[in-house]
Amino acid sequence: MRVLLVGAGGVGTAITRIAARRDFFDHFVVADYDLARAEAAVAAVDTGTGAGAGSGRFIARRIDASDEAAVAALLAEERCDVLLNATDPRFVIPLFEAALAADSHYMDMAMSLSRPHPGRPYAECGIKLGDEQFARAGAWEKSGRLALVGMGVEPGLSDVFARYAADELFDEIEEIGIRDGANLTVAGHEFAPSFNIWTTIEECLNPPVVYERDRGWFTTEPFSEPEVFDFPEGIGAVECVNVEHEEVLLVPRWVDARRVTFKYGLGEDFIAKLKTLHALGLDSTEPVTVRGADGAPVQVSPRDVVAACLPDPATLGERMAGKTCAGTWVKGTKDGRPREVYLYHVVDNQWSMREYGSQAVVWQTAVNPVVALELLAGGVWAEAGVLGPEALPPRPFLDLLTAYGSPWGVREQG
């Protein structure tokens, strides 16, 4: 396999460190708008000590992810079989279309952006996450290539868990609820999100989507339906609230469930800060005019300013402590009896920093697309079209994830 990775930020860099230990690919192009960042990611694996380091399989290139033609040309030039998108969701569509134009497979960890309903944003869906990608499913099927969308940890592994539960643990499913929580702390920072703040704002302040079989998809107010969920491996009880997320749009397409939700353990302080950003208009992506150092007017997005003022999540690992948990809670029946389980994956920041030099949240996101790439390279996952992870056999993925040294668990609830 020959891979083009677009995006050498925290998750992209972690992807290279995980992939360097595997032998399923021959050529791995790391491309970023900032060439120095791509070169740093390549240098780390080419001079590191892990298996596969120093092999010369990685090269760095500069690319503008918004330039569809340039990305397609790079795919052709490097003869890449697959484009792995590790950029933020703004660049999903040009990268998705570039891969189709270049006759390559495509994979991302976040889907095309939503747009709220113009009149009833907290009751009805407008344009949903991934709608623009699913509208192109016919073209992808005709091409014989796979666009595997939402293949991170959440969405991604959480969707694999949903399909595994449907296939092996339940006869009928009443509800599937993705539940994400952590006990991570960052020394020296009052506010230091462990993941990309641009994406975090998008997820948390957009109208959350809920699915019910009798109603279809509908929206609620941000941070609605708070509940306390007990997370495993010492994380404990965390208050979780509804957040817009891809699983609610993906799971019902392939898994039969009466209800699907996504709730994120944010905490009161984090929610209060997000509400303040919204009240001040600092969550907006629409440019505003400010005066630069020379007094000349400059157009700048308020959300980009917020991101620039916060520490890069990829740099927080040395000051971070604790664990992060991603998982899928499922309630239904098996053999005529009620059953409730939580399938989960926990990463300890101390372990991920020691083993890979990547903080826990970005490492947990990064490992899953690498596992998926290996399944594609081996022909184990071999479909065409625009598909979510739950459209594909879950057991090979979960077995390979364990073989990567990152086991998952199942906890019976109640």
Nearest to 150 by CA among 401, 386, 403: 386
pLDDT of residue 52: 44
Q: How many CA atoms lie within 13 A of 125 on its CB side?
A: 19
pLDDT at 53: 44
Give CA separation, 267 vs 77, 184, 186, 264, 270, in Å. Answer: 47, 12, 15, 9, 6
> What pLDDT was estimated at residue 192?
65
CA distance 127 to 134: 12
User: pLDDT tens digits, the chain, 414 residues: what are they?
Assistant: 999 999 999 999 999 999 999 999 999 999 999 999 999 999 999 754 344 444 689 999 999 999 999 999 999 999 999 999 999 999 999 999 999 999 999 999 999 999 999 999 999 999 999 999 999 999 999 999 999 999 999 999 999 999 999 999 999 999 999 999 999 887 777 776 666 677 777 777 889 999 999 999 999 998 899 999 999 999 999 999 999 999 999 999 999 999 999 999 987 778 888 888 888 888 888 889 988 888 888 898 888 888 888 777 767 767 789 999 999 999 999 999 999 999 999 999 999 999 999 999 999 999 999 999 999 999 999 999 999 999 999 999 999 999 999 999 999 997
Smallest CA-to-CA distance from 77 within 92, 62, 94 is with: 62
Q: How far apart are CA 133 and CA 355, in angstroms?
A: 36
List of residues 6+ apart from 261 with CB closer than 8 A = 175, 176, 177, 178, 210, 211, 225, 242, 248
Element (H, E) at 209: strand 209-212
| Per-residue confidence (pLDDT) for residue 293, from 0 to 100 | 82
What whole-number distance in Å separates Cα of residue 25 and Cα of residue 377?
Answer: 8
Pairing of strands 185-186, 320-321: antiparallel
Q: How far is CA 322 from CA 17, 325, 376, in A?
A: 21, 10, 33
User: Checking phi first, is residue 180 left (phi over 0); if not, alpha (psi -120 to 50) or beta?
Assistant: beta
Instruction: Tell me which long-range contacts 72-77 makes (C-beta under 8 A, separation of at least 24).
Output: 72/98, 72/99, 72/101, 72/102, 74/4, 74/29, 74/31, 75/4, 75/99, 75/102, 75/104, 76/102
Q: How far apart are CA 294 and CA 274, in angstroms?
A: 32
User: The tokens of 407 are what?
Assistant: 């086991």
Has this prediction a pTM greater than 0.75? yes
* Chain Cα centroid distance, residue 93: 16
CA–CA separation, 6 vs 119, rounded Å? 36
pLDDT at 194: 63
- H helix intervals, 56-182: 68-77, 92-101, 131-134, 137-143, 157-164
Centroid of chain to Cα 222 = 20
Dihedral sign computed on CA atoms, order 146, 151, 155, 158: positive
Predicted confidence at residue 317, as pLDDT, reads 66
Q: What does DSSP assign to residue 152?
A: B
